[in-house]
């Protein structure tokens, strides 16, 4: 009761703080600021969350965005069984407690993730031999102890994670193999008993749109509800691929909501085959926007959580080789088009800032009496990739390019233009491309001072 009153008080204080910020914002209209996702979500009656691991919270840019842009946090790993009980009988709550403290300090709610899963289990559990009764008792004890430890601090628990195969049947796991599907109901009952106020979820991936796996989840949810098992919501992870977001997300979420359940997008990221190009990032914006919009179109969709907020620390490249750039902030914690897609879905109507190209050029020559070889490296110092490039400069002292490699070089009088070839068209944010050429000179051979990348002057 007291905690609930405190929460209301905190919300009221926040609302006042929010109003003050708004007034300040109006007083200084010339200062274009990025939208605050949590304010937009709150205005829509939803939350917007982001996962964070302990090490991510140690990155100041990460923590700053986590605590200001989002009003829900999910621990990336710190509440998983291998994290909390690596040694049988010895609990380590430090990572989870720190995440909860961070969330409370920033007026965020917490999604507990996750109590029963086939993955990230401690060795003593996966390599041990247990009778069925002993295993069931271990499961119930784990759920009870963890939910009790965090009681009153967790808004939603992913009680069971990823119980299904792609065809909608039960996934073979330590739990299913020995206990059958009843482990799911047991875990939910234990969680309810330990913290009656927490909303209890089953969470899975590739259930975002309609299909066999989603049908399996639907049937599971329906049968649990019919048996009176305490189940409050279904989590849809939303680990998606650029340009391949299912078109049925809204329809799918709605059918679960129609069972009387809450629904939430719990781990949204939209990966692409690297390198990121402007076209892919534009598609990614549309993809994030469509998922958030689908949630908003379903009144029981309580919120959306993104699985990490910046590309620098995403789990994607390690699990899907060659893929990445799946998040709404880039490697340098700058907002990507996808961030504005989320904001637009949440009702923001501002103008998406056009990123200005910025570049640095290194120019070196090896010269002899009449000729020289030049090596040029162009670096994209901006935060978005450059796809397709032209580097221009002038040769006021009469130098003439005769032959080039790794670029097509054209010269008209003193004006020179080097254009990418097919295999080096993209310069990743922070990345470089290099090319070279032979040229002639006489008199003097000064280095150019006026390099421009796609029309923008470089340093
Ligand atoms: C991932 C974490 O992000 C990684 O740091 C960890 O190495 C593996 O797990 N579905 C889930 C999450 O439910 O717990 C997973 O998180 C990503 C897929």
The full set of domain ranges for the chain reads: 3-24+357-457, 37-345
CA dist., res. 451 & res. 459, Å (int): 8
- What's the pLDDT at 2? 44
* Residue found by looking up tokens 């009790």 in the block: 148
- What's the pLDDT at 434? 97
* Cβ atoms 329, 336 nearer than 8 A: yes
Instruction: Measure 236 CA to ligand 1 centroid, in angstroms.
Output: 14
What kind of fold does domain 37-345 have according to CATH?
A: TIM Barrel (3.20.20)
What distance lies between CA 298 and its chain's CA centroid?
22
Neighbours of 56 (CB within 10 A): 20
What is the tens place of the pLDDT at every residue in 264-292?
999 999 999 998 888 999 999 999 999 99
| Backbone CA torsion sign across 164, 264, 81, 120 | positive
Q: Would residue 82 show up in a list of annotated catalytic residues for this protein?
A: no
Residues 6+ away with beta carbon under 8 Å from 443: 397, 398
Q: Which of 267, 268, 323 best tests ligand 1's pocket when mutated (most atoms within 8 Å of CB)?
A: 267
Atom of ligand 1 nearest to the CA of 307: 3
Instruction: Measure 449 CA to ligand 1 centroid, in angstroms.
Output: 49
- What's the pLDDT at 452? 93
If we measure between CA atoms, which residue out of 109, 338, 309 comes closest to residue 242?
Answer: 338
- What's the pLDDT at 68? 98
> 163 pLDDT exceeds 50?
yes
With a 6 A CB cut-off, is 237 part of the ligand 1 pocket?
Answer: yes
CA distances from 300 to 45, 263, 312 (A): 10, 6, 33
What kind of fold does domain 3-24+357-457 have according to CATH?
A: Immunoglobulin-like (2.60.40)
Q: Would residue 162 show up in a list of annotated catalytic residues for this protein?
A: yes
CA dist., res. 150 & res. 113, Å (int): 12
CA dist., res. 321 & res. 83, Å (int): 25
* Cβ atoms 106, 98 nearer than 8 A: no
Q: What is the mean pLDDT of the chain?
A: 92
> 25 pLDDT exceeds 50?
no
Kindly report the protein residue whose alpha carbon is nearest to atom 5 of ligand 1: 315
What is the tens place of the pLDDT at every residue in 308-359?
999 999 999 999 999 999 999 999 899 999 999 999 999 999 999 876 668 9
With a 6 A CB cut-off, is 315 part of the ligand 1 pocket?
Answer: yes
Instruction: Measure 315 CA to ligand 1 centroid, in angstroms.
Output: 7
CA dist., res. 166 & res. 201, Å (int): 19
Total-model pTM: 0.80
Burial code of 278-315, b = ≥16 C-beta within 10 A, e = fewer? Answer: eebbebbbbbbbbbbbbbbebebbbbbbbbbbbbbbbb
CA dist., res. 363 & res. 376, Å (int): 5
Q: Are strands 262-273 and 239-241 parallel, antiparallel or unpaired?
A: parallel
With a 6 A CB cut-off, is 76 part of the ligand 1 pocket?
Answer: yes
Percent of the chain with pLDDT over 70: 92
If you ran DSSP here, which 8-state letter would residue 172 be given? P
How does DSSP assign 414-454, residue by residue?
TEEEEE--GGG-EE-TT-EEEEEEEEE--S--PPPS--EET
CA dist., res. 109 & res. 100, Å (int): 8
Residues 6+ away with beta carbon under 8 Å from 196: none
Strands (E), 297-389: 301-306, 323-324, 359-367, 371-380, 386-387
With a 6 A CB cut-off, is 305 part of the ligand 1 pocket?
Answer: no
* Cβ atoms 84, 100 nearer than 8 A: no
């Amino acid at each position: 009761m007291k905690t609930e009153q405190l929460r209301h008080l905190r919300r009221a204080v926040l609302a006042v703080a929010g109003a003050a910020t708004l007034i300040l914002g109006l007083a200084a209209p010339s200062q274009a600021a990025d939208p605050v996702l949590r304010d937009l979500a709150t205005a829509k009656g939803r939350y917007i969350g982001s996962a964070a691991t302990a090490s991510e919270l140690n990155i100041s840019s990460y923590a700053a965005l986590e605590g200001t842009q989002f009003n829900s946090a999910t621990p990336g790993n710190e509440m998983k069984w291998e994290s909390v009980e690596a040694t049988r009988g010895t609990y380590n709550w430090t990572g989870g407690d720190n995440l909860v403290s961070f969330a409370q300090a920033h007026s965020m709610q917490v999604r507990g993730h996750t109590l029963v899963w086939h993955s990230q289990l401690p060795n003593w559990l996966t390599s041990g031999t247990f009778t069925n009764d002993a295993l069931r008792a271990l499961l119930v004890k784990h759920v009870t102890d963890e939910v009790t430890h965090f009681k009153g601090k967790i808004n939603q628990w992913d009680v069971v994670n990823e119980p299904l195969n792609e065809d909608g049947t039960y996934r073979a796991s330590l739990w299913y193999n020995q206990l059958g599907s009843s482990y799911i109901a047991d875990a939910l009952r234990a969680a309810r008993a330990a913290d009656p106020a927490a909303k209890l979820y089953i969470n899975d991936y590739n259930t975002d749109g309609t299909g066999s796996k989603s049908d399996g989840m639907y049937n599971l949810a329906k049968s649990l509800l019919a048996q009176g098992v305490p189940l409050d919501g279904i989590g849809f992870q939303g680990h998606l691929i650029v340009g391949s977001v299912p078109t049925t997300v809204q329809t799918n979420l709605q059918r679960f909501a129609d069972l009387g359940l809450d629904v939430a997008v719990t781990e949204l990221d939209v990966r692409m085959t690297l390198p990121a190009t402007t076209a892919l990032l534009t598609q990614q914006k549309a993809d994030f926007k469509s998922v958030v919009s689908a949630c908003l179109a379903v009144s029981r969709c309580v919120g959306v959580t993104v699985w990490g907020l910046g590309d620098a620390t995403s789990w994607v490249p390690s699990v899907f080789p060659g893929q990445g750039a799946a998040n709404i902030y880039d490697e340098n914690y700058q907002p990507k088009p996808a961030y504005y897609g989320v904001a637009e879905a949440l009702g923001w109507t501002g103008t998406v800032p056009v990123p200005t190209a910025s570049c640095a050029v290194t120019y070196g020559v090896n010269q002899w009496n009449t000729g020289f070889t030049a090596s040029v490296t162009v670096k994209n110092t901006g935060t978005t990739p450059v796809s397709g490039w032209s580097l221009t400069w002038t040769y006021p002292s009469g130098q003439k390019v005769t032959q080039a490699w790794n670029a097509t070089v054209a010269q008209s009088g003193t004006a020179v233009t080097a254009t990418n070839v097919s295999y080096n068209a993209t310069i990743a944010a922070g990345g470089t491309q290099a090319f070279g050429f032979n040229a002639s000179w006489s008199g003097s051979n000064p280095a150019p001072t006026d390099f421009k990348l796609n029309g923008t002057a470089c340093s």
